[in-house]
Structure formats: C-alpha cells, structure tokens
Amino acid sequence: MKYLEEIKSLFMEFAIEVEIVFTEYPLHSSEIVADAELANYDGLIVAGGDGSFFNVLNAYMKKPDKDKIPLGVLPVGTGNSLSRDILETGTSLRDFVELIKSGKTKRFDIAKVQSGEEVFYFANMMGFGFITDVSATAARLKMFKKMSYTLGVLYNTIKLNTFDLTITIDGKEQLWDNVFVIISNSKYTGGDYLIAPRAEVDDGKLDLIVLNRLSRINLLKIFPKIYDGSHVDSEFVDYIQASNIKLRTNVPKILSPDGEVFGHFPADVACLPRAIEVFAK
C-alpha cells in the first residue's frame, strides 16, 4: 500500500489506463486472475515480489490461449529476483512503468512441475532441502526485507544436515548426498543472490545448482560468493543445465518455488520454452 500513490501517479504520467485490483487474503490474486476476462486488456501487471508473480502465473497458465496477454512486474516485494532478468538496469518503479509504456516484450521460458497429483509452474526458481528451510525462515522475517534471506541462511546453518537424492537429468540418473538443489530459470534469487550466473530466461534450459555434503564452515565460506556467482566454481557445487528433471529422495521433502513453500516429492520438472510473453527489455 505504501507504493500505491506513486504507482497511480506514474501510470497517469505515462498515460496508461489501468485498473488496480487489491488482494485481500492469501491466494486472492489467483482468484482475481481466474475470474478476469484478460482478453479485454493489453497487459497483466503484478505489483509484488516473486511469490506474488508465482500465484498470478499459476492462475494465468490455466486460462485459454486467447487470454494470454503480456505479463509484467512492479517490483515491490521481498526479493524481486525475477525483475532483475526483466530489466537488469531498472532500479525504480518509474523504470518498470516506462518499460510497460514502451510495449516492449520478450518470450520467457517457465518450468512446469508435476508434484504428486498437482501441477504448478514457476518463472524464477525452485529449491528444496536447505533452501526450503531458508525460505520458510525468511517468510517469518519479512519485516527485514532482503536481509530476511541472509538471516534465514545463518539460522539454518546451525542445524545443517544432508539427505540421499536421486535426480534423473535428461534421462541420466545421478545420486547425491545432498544439502540442497536450486532449479533456476533466471539468474537471481533472494533479490541480489546471483545463484545461476549462466541462466537465460529464453534458452530452453533450466539451471541446476546442486550443493553436496560439506561442513558448516565451508557453507559459510561459500555463502558470500553467491553475490557474484563464483560459488558455482566450488568443489562442493555441481552446475548442470537440463530440459527435464525427475526428483526422488529417501525422506519427505517440501518444495519452494519462487520463494513460496509449495509442493512435495516426488516431482518431475520440465522447461516450457518461451511459454509466456513478458514486458521486458
């Protein structure tokens, strides 16, 4: 709400006719999109972070093709990671509204996840293991904004453990003694963490960052490197690009797509190349 007047003013300044709809409870945005006649509009903009975009995306993907209008973001959430791949040099709401006004769009890949009987989609990333624990902790610390993820890492390092993981990557099965996996479509997570430095949102591939067994000291040594992406050079990290991924483990694991805690093992993940159109530079 604290950005509302600025947002209204910017849309008025750029002469963009806009209908602003407020969410009133969790997942309300999904209901709003499900009920909307999107074909009557030129774009659907999400004012929020990666979790807000996740909820809108999943309702959007259930709409008929005739309603598949361009999606956009006003980054006013906790992490705002996807916005870095939408407009890398954008630092203000004005930059993003100006982008929407330009009408410039780009086709983005997204990931489709089959988790038990459920199907869902994500645009930014999905993690599990240690990273899900961090997301759950960060969700309780949202008042600290981007720092909530750093605090989540430090807290969960104290109770670090591993689990047996079987991943089938484009048909090839691999076994790991695992701490966490992040499956990324875009480069950033947690706002400023350059978690997948080789990722491109339109290359038809998902990027897997696999952290294997290591000590707490080594984890804390690696952690600062995710700001510049050099963590992928660590002996404890495997970096793999793939189109189809099957996930199996010996213990129950919860998934965290786009910062939300949602879904569970076993899970199959597939890249859907250039599946959505996004206001992007």
Query: Quick one: pLDDT at residue 123?
Result: 96
Q: Residue 36, Cβ neighbours under 10 Å: how many?
A: 17
184 phi and psi angles, rounded to 5 deg? -110, 140
Q: H/E element holding 21? A: none
Pick the CATH number of 4-111 from 3.40.50.10330, 3.40.1160.10, 1.20.1070.10, 1.10.2020.10: 3.40.50.10330
What sign for the dihedral angle of Cα 207, 60, 34, 76?
positive
Q: Residue 219, Cβ neighbours under 10 Å: how many?
A: 17
Q: Domain 118-268 adopts which CATH fold?
A: Tumour Suppressor Smad4 (2.60.200)
> Which one, of 131, 277, 129, lies nearest residue 196 by Cα?
131
Domain boundaries, the chain: 4-111, 118-268
Helix, strand, or coil (residue 243) = coil
Q: Are 197 and 163 in contact (CB under 8 A)?
A: no
Q: Helix 130-140 vs helix 147-157: angle between axes, to the nearest 10 degrees?
A: 130
Q: Which amino acid is at 186?
A: S
> Which one, of 40, 90, 39, lies nearest residue 66 by Cα?
39
**Burial class of residue 165, CB neighbours in 10 A (0-12, 13-18, 19+):** buried
Query: Quick one: pLDDT at residue 88?
Result: 79
State how far the Cα of 109 lies from the Cα of 33, in Å rounded to an integer. 20
Q: Residue 258, Cβ neighbours under 10 Å: how many?
A: 29
| 54-65 pLDDT per residue, tens | 999 999 999 998
**Residues in the chain with pLDDT values less than 70:** 90, 146, 158-159
